[in-house]
């Protein structure tokens, strides 16, 4: 990826870049990746919508065989997608994963081994590769690559080339979620549950880009379903009965009660994000973008949720 300073971002480099996630999905209504012989990114210049969550484990979806969690929109997306069920985070911690995503490099190369470290600017980033090819780029949500304080303003020179910007380094206060917009250093708060508001903004972005002749690469980064678990929309939390949820066999018996309670909250967050996925897919279709947009869904890493007696 760091070799593509100018010109188009080729298919092989793209696959290497997004294949770092957990339980990733990639889809277009034209089934672009199922038509590899007729696909040429250099000629068709498809848009990119890259959506990823924080700490969403691969088995926590209906399409993955989980009978308890409700993910109808993701299940539908999975049915028309290439599924990378064996793609895993090579370093399953937030910042290392995100640094690998942005650079296409392993932690040994980009140097981010722990959380709350700043990613250097030596490599050509995902956004720089796309903007160099004439794309408009945007980032909405959790960043976690700046290393200068989780609530601090992130200047343009530290955004790895992204143009449109509504983000914060890191927060898991989903109902009072702070962010910065563009080059304004004023702290703002996403209304209500942040993933819903971030999705609203992404939908508006897609609407604007539909009127632009330039292709786009938009990244939407949600902070949930990372804990605190029982802070999602109350109506979705009410759908899950703790005692009816199946735990993994490696959860110790003495952890059952706590694990089931947390799992209900975890699934409520997931169902909320599933609704967001549905809204994004609807927005692509309503704006006529669905036929030329690659959609990637993944996560930075999974969650233990009581397995081996561990929470994270």
DSSP track, the chain? -TT-SSS---HHHHHHHHTTSSSEEEE-TT-GGGGGGG--HHHH--EEEEEEEES--TT-SGGGT-SSS--HHHHHHHHTEEEETT---SS-SHHHHHHHHHHS--HHHH---STT-PPPSSSPPHHHHHHHTT-EEEEEEE-----S-TTS---GGGTTT-SEEEEES----TTSEEEEETT----EEESSSHHHHHHHHHHHHHHHHTT-SS-EEEEEEEEEESSSGGGS-HHHHTT--GGGPPPPTTS-GGGHHHHHHHHHHHHHHHHHHHHHHHHHHHHHHHTT-GGGEEEEEEES----TTGGG---
- Whether residue 245 lies inside any domain: the answer is yes
Q: Provide mean pLDDT across the span 38-56.
A: 78
- Whether residue 4 lies inside any domain: the answer is no
- Whether residue 210 lies inside any domain: the answer is yes
Q: Output the domain CATH number for residue 34.
A: 3.40.720.10
87 falls in which pLDDT band (50, 70, 90)? confident
- Whether residue 128 lies inside any domain: the answer is yes
Residue the block writes with tokens 């508001």: 197
Summary mean pLDDT of the chain: 89
In contact, 229 and 245? CB cutoff 8 Å: no
What are 272-311's pLDDT values in tens digits? 999 999 999 999 999 999 999 999 999 999 999 999 999 8
Total of domains in the chain:
1
Catalytic site residue from 144, 226, 269, 301? 144
pLDDT in the model for residue 311: 80
What are 102-124's pLDDT values in tens digits? 999 999 999 999 999 999 999 99
Catalytic site residue from 26, 91, 94, 170? 94
Tell me if residue 144 is catalytic: yes
Distance CA 17, CA 92 (A): 16
Q: Is 21 a residue whose pLDDT tops 50?
A: no
- Whether residue 3 lies inside any domain: the answer is no
Tell me the pTM: 0.88
- Tokens standing for residue 240: 């899950």
pLDDT in the model for residue 90: 84
pLDDT in the model for residue 14: 39
pLDDT in the model for residue 37: 34
pLDDT in the model for residue 38: 37
Compare 172 and 90 and report the one with higher pLDDT: 172
Domain that holds residue 124: 11-309
pLDDT in the model for residue 22: 43
Q: Provide mean pLDDT across the span 212-238.
A: 97
pLDDT in the model for residue 151: 98
pLDDT in the model for residue 27: 56
Q: Is 10 a residue whose pLDDT tops 60?
A: no
Residue the block writes with tokens 């700490």: 55
pLDDT in the model for residue 2: 32
Q: Is 35 a residue whose pLDDT tops 90?
A: no
Q: Strands 24-27 and 81-84: what pairing?
A: antiparallel
Q: Provide mean pLDDT across the span 50-55.
A: 98
- Whether residue 132 lies inside any domain: the answer is yes
Q: Provide mean pLDDT across the span 247-259.
A: 96
Q: Is 141 a residue whose pLDDT tops 70?
A: yes
- Whether residue 207 lies inside any domain: the answer is yes
- Whether residue 5 lies inside any domain: the answer is no
43 falls in which pLDDT band (50, 70, 90)? low
Q: Is 13 a residue whose pLDDT tops 70?
A: no
Tell me if residue 172 is catalytic: no
């Amino acid at each position: 990826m760091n070799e593509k300073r100018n010109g188009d971002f080729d298919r092989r480099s793209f696959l290497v870049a997004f294949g770092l996630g957990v339980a990733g999905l990639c889809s277009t209504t034209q089934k672009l990746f199922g038509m590899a012989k007729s696909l040429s990114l250099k000629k068709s210049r498809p848009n990119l919508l890259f959506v990823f969550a924080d700490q969403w484990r691969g088995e926590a979806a209906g399409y993955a065989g989980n009978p308890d969690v409700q993910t109808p929109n993701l299940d539908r997306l999975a049915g028309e997608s290439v599924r990378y069920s064996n793609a895993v985070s090579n370093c399953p911690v937030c910042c290392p994963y995100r640094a690998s995503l942005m650079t296409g490099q392993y932690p040994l190369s980009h140097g981010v081994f722990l959380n709350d470290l700043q990613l250097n600017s030596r490599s050509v980033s995902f956004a720089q590769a796309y903007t160099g090819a004439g794309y408009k780029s945007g980032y909405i949500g959790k960043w976690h690559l700046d290393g200068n304080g989780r609530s601090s303003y992130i200047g343009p020179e530290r955004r790895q080339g992204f143009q449109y910007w509504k983000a914060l380094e890191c927060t898991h206060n989903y109902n009072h979620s702070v962010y910065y917009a563009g080059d304004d250093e004023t702290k703002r708060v996403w209304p209500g549950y942040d993933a819903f508001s971030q999705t609203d903004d992404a939908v508006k972005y897609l609407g604007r880009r539909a009127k632009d002749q330039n292709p786009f690469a938009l990244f939407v980064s949600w902070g949930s379903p990372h804990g605190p678990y029982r802070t999602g929309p109350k109506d979705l939390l009410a759908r899950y009965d703790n005692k009816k949820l199946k735990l993994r066999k490696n959860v110790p018996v003495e952890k059952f009660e706590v694990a089931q309670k947390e799992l209900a909250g975890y699934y409520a967050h997931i169902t909320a994000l599933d609704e967001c996925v549905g809204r994004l897919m609807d927005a692509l279709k309503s704006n006529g973008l669905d036929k030329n947009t690659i959609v990637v869904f993944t996560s930075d890493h999974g969650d233990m949720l009581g397995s081996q007696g561990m929470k994270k």
